[in-house]
Structure 1
Amino acid sequence: MTEFEEAVGDALDLVPVELMDQLDNVVFLVEEEPPPEDPELLGVYDGVPLTERDLSWGGTLPDRITIFRGPLVRMCEDREHLLDEIAVTVVHEIAHHFGIDDEALHELGWG
């Protein structure tokens, strides 16, 4: 496991257990770079937020939260800044799983 992947794991460890227990069918991934059409993307949630699931939802592949190493490393001046940004990105993407959009995250100071 790379140091970056370990840092993502450490960020996940900082999320309260009560919140992590509420995640449903989610996998966390680390990729080197985001899609070419959005080269500065730090992370992405790909799935159906809990607030949009209904009785027909089920038997689906896990939702994915992907953290992109390249843009995070390039934007940070040092290791401490990188660790902080990884933690913020992880929380940001988890919030999307719970149905919190970017506008609400900005209002809360998380984006």
Structure 2
Amino acid sequence: MLDNVAIVVEDEPRLEQHPIEGHADDDGDLFGYYEGTPLTDRTSAYGLQTPDRIVIFRKPLERAFPEPDTLRDEVKLTIIHELAHHVGYDEDEISARGWE
């Protein structure tokens, strides 16, 4: 499932990544972002692609969750949320599972 997925950490979202409806907290901070083609959208023509990327944004998470235990939990939740996009879940499906 993760053969062609890179999980990376960046300080802040780039302008073209932010804001995206459904991906930000109440203050508009973006915690993570999935760049790639979900598994459910891939066809036999998919191949020799650069890796999909799950990007975790460090500074927005640290600002929103200054306590280490809470920060750790939110980083895990953010990774689960972005992995759900990788396997093809949309925001409604992710929300229904409590992964927001």
TM norm structure 1: 0.77
C-alpha root-mean-square deviation of aligned residues, in Å?
1.2
Give how far 1:23 is off: 2.0
Give how far 1:77 is off: 3.6
Determine the structure 2 residue equivalent to 1:85.
74
Identity %: 44
Q: Deviations over 1:2-24 (max 9, x none)?
A: xxxxxxxxxxxxxxxxxxxx223
Give how far 1:26 is off: 0.4
Determine the structure 1 residue equivalent to 2:48.
59
Q: Report runs of 4+ in structure 1 exceeding 3 Å deviation.
A: none
CA distance in 2, matches of 1:30, 1:106: 23
Q: Which amino acid aligns with 1:31?
A: E
Q: Which amino acid aligns with 2:34?
A: Y
Q: Name the structure where helix makes up a greater proportion of residues.
A: 1
Determine the structure 2 residue equivalent to 1:28.
7
Q: 1:50 aligns with which of 17, 36, 39?
A: 39
Q: Which amino acid aligns with 2:14?
A: P
Give how far 1:35 is off: 2.2
Q: How many residues align structurally?
A: 90
Determine the structure 1 residue equivalent to 2:83.
94
Determine the structure 2 residue equivalent to 1:70.
59
Unaligned 5+ runs, structure 2: 20-27
CA distance in 2, matches of 1:77, 1:57: 41
Unaligned 5+ runs, structure 1: 1-21
Give how far 1:101 is off: 1.0
Determine the structure 2 residue equivalent to 1:40.
29
